[in-house]
Amino acid sequence: MFFDSHAHFDDERFNRDRETLLQNMQQKGVRYILNAASDIDTSQKCVELTEKYDFIYASVGVHPHNVAGITENDMQLLMHLSKHSKVVAIGEIGLDYYYDHSPREEQKYWFRRQIQLAKQLNLPVIIHNRDAHADSMEIIQAEDISTIGGVIHCFSGSWEMAKKLIAMGIYISIAGPITFKNAVKSVEVVKNLPMDKILIETDSPYLTPVPYRGKRNDSSYIKYVAEKIAEIKGLTVKEVAQKTMENAKRLFKIAD
């Protein structure tokens, strides 16, 4: 059974078949899903999803795309939502200099602010980092998240960067792009990473792995990510499933 450590089933692309899809997840081998929030509205929706499905857990937080114009009042709302027993992380938070949907200064400010919130709440963080490696590293180091832990979702950096992150107690999450032909750098990262530092994810509906690349992603395609990791590490898919399950449950403090 798999733990999909990052998905967005609140996304409107699931509106027509969300229920059927989620009802069948267990049969497709998916034991747990962490549904990650991207703003205040989706944070609320994530919490609602956890109430509907016992195998779904949630994070609450504001994605760098959406931080422009948010206020301390929004931090209060996140704090309130985070009190729900199935909210197990703050995220996704971070920096995205590829799209630059929000001004970089605001991205940096709210990344730091939400890490501080996570520390106050004693919750791990789910970090989004795209084309902002240097600034992300600087903030992660300066804020010191070793007491709460965290994960970099859909990791796209080098092994050098991954090495520094795991030394700070941060997990590396591998998504669909590991199955792409040009994933040379990520294959190198997986090859070097200790198995107790890896999480797997789909980021559904995005980042669909081969052989469904280009179509809508869903958590059942997590097996293609696990198969690729098993191939790189010389392990069975079952071993990859077990290890990444243990890791995700440890990070998010899920007991059962």
Closest residue to Ni ion using C-beta atoms: 203
Question: Please, what is the minimum distance in Å from the beta carbon of residue 49 to Ni ion?
Answer: 15
The Cα–Cα gap between 180 and 178 comes to 6
Question: Please, what is the minimum distance in Å from the beta carbon of residue 81 to Ni ion?
Answer: 18
Helix 104-121, helix 72-82: angle, nearest 10: 40
Which of these ranges, 166-174, 196-204, 226-234, 241-249, lies near Ni ion under the rule CB under 5 A?
A: 196-204
In this complex, which beta carbon is closest to Ni ion, that of residue 8 or of residue 163? Answer: 8
Question: Please, what is the minimum distance in Å from the beta carbon of residue 175 to Ni ion?
Answer: 9
In this complex, which beta carbon is closest to Ni ion, that of residue 130 or of residue 163? Answer: 130
Question: Please, what is the minimum distance in Å from the beta carbon of residue 7 to Ni ion?
Answer: 8
The Cα–Cα gap between 207 and 200 comes to 12
Which of these ranges, 9-17, 82-90, 141-149, 203-211, lies near Ni ion under the rule CB under 5 A?
A: 203-211
In this complex, which beta carbon is closest to Ni ion, that of residue 126 or of residue 229? Answer: 126
- How many residues interact with Ni ion (rule CB under 5 A)? 1
Non-local (6+) Cβ contacts of 96 within 8 A are 63, 64, 65, 107, 128, 129, 130, 131, 132
Touching Ni ion, residues 77-116 (CB under 5 A): none
In this complex, which beta carbon is closest to Ni ion, that of residue 96 or of residue 203? Answer: 203
In this complex, which beta carbon is closest to Ni ion, that of residue 4 or of residue 74? Answer: 4
In this complex, which beta carbon is closest to Ni ion, that of residue 71 or of residue 201? Answer: 201
Question: Please, what is the minimum distance in Å from the beta carbon of residue 121 to Ni ion?
Answer: 20
Question: Please, what is the minimum distance in Å from the beta carbon of residue 171 to Ni ion?
Answer: 15
- Tokens standing for 18? 């969300």
In this complex, which beta carbon is closest to Ni ion, that of residue 18 or of residue 233? Answer: 18
Question: Please, what is the minimum distance in Å from the beta carbon of residue 201 to Ni ion?
Answer: 8
One-letter amino acid for residue 63 of the chain: H
The Cα–Cα gap between 218 and 114 comes to 28
* 203 contacts Ni ion (rule: CB under 5 A): yes
Which of these ranges, 64-72, 95-103, 199-207, 242-250, lies near Ni ion under the rule CB under 5 A?
A: 199-207
List contacts with Ni ion (CB under 5 A): 203
